Amino acid sequence: MAQGSARRCLRLEPAAAREVLGAADTLLFDCDGVLWRGEAAVAGAAAALSRLQARAKRLCYVTNNSSRTRAAYAEKLQRLGFPPAEPRQVFGSAYCAARYLRQALPPGAAAYVLGGAALSDELGAAGIPHLGPGPADLPGPGPADWSRAPLQPNVRAVLVGFDPHFCYAKLCQALRYLQRGPDCLLVGTNRDHRLPLENGAAIPGTGCLVKAVEVAAEREAFIIGKPSRYIFDCVASEFEIDPARTIMVGDRLDTDILMGNNCGLTTLLTLTGVTTLEEVKGHQESDCPSRKSLVPDYYVDSIADLLPALED
């Protein structure tokens, strides 16, 4: 949909779906909550994507999750019965963060990483020296010791992703690197503040860790993942993407739908994830432009609702 047009969040019925899908050559899918929930595929989702691929649609996968590599996502897609995907079709925040630092850092510069093995693997594949993943202990009993811990001279970026070992020791080191000056970049993989689990449970997301470092450093991070335009630019630079012929499919308004709207894509909300129609209605009825920017063009109960429009 053209930027600036009022979005109405219409249910995508089969007749309209044929027209919308027929006008598109690329579909970008979020994964968790859209294609699968945990380790179980959403019923009918694999069949829908298989039919889209059979109609020569380009399928890409755009996720804020920094705890899996592109290869791991490609493997999971195949394991859950989705059409085989090459790693180059997957745009995770770990891979895109490595891509960003490869372009932004001078030769030989390293990154201090608050993140896990997948982030380390993607940085390694991009040839970026890095340190930090894994557990960390404070280097002594008191603040004087913490402020004198050794620093690597070639570190020119602090990268914050999902880190189950996040702790005060890492926060201290991140701050000390950033206090060297603005030449040390602060980069976050995403701002997702909460990660929903089954049965209504949730855990803190990467956004909580990014915010902690931002507050300590009194600086704002450059964000890689949705709703940042950067992650879409990564897709557009890999493939010949025409925004007017591209659909963003997601379950979160503040990441998937907002990025799609900001980038001039057609946006499709699926209700198999975290968003309800009541939330969308609240944004539609608001006078706040920023809330209206969270409204999708269309919605479906599930990706499986596209199947009737894809019948021969």
287 is in an annotated binding site: no
What value, to the nearest 5°, has the Cα angle with vertex 95 and ends 93 and 98?
A: 105
Report helix, strand or coil for 253: helix
251 is in an annotated binding site: yes
Q: How many CA atoms lie within 13 A of 55 on its CB side?
A: 19
Q: Which of 25, 32, 163, 297 is catalytic?
A: 32
Give residue for tokens 């894509």: 265
Neighbouring C-beta atoms of residue 31, cutoff 10 Å: 22
Q: Is the peptide bond before 289 cis (omega within 30 degrees of 0)?
A: no
Distances (CA, A) of 153 to 44, 131, 180, 181, 235: 52, 12, 10, 13, 33
Q: Which of 25, 30, 192, 297 is catalytic?
A: 30
Order of strands across the sheet that contains 298-300: 10-11, 298-300, 266-270, 246-250, 26-29, 58-63, 90-92
Known catalytic membership, residue 256: no
Known catalytic membership, residue 305: no
Residues marked active site are found at 30, 32
**Residues annotated within a binding site for Mg(2+):** 30, 32, 251
**Residues annotated within a binding site:** 30, 32, 226, 251
**Residues annotated within a binding site for substrate:** 226
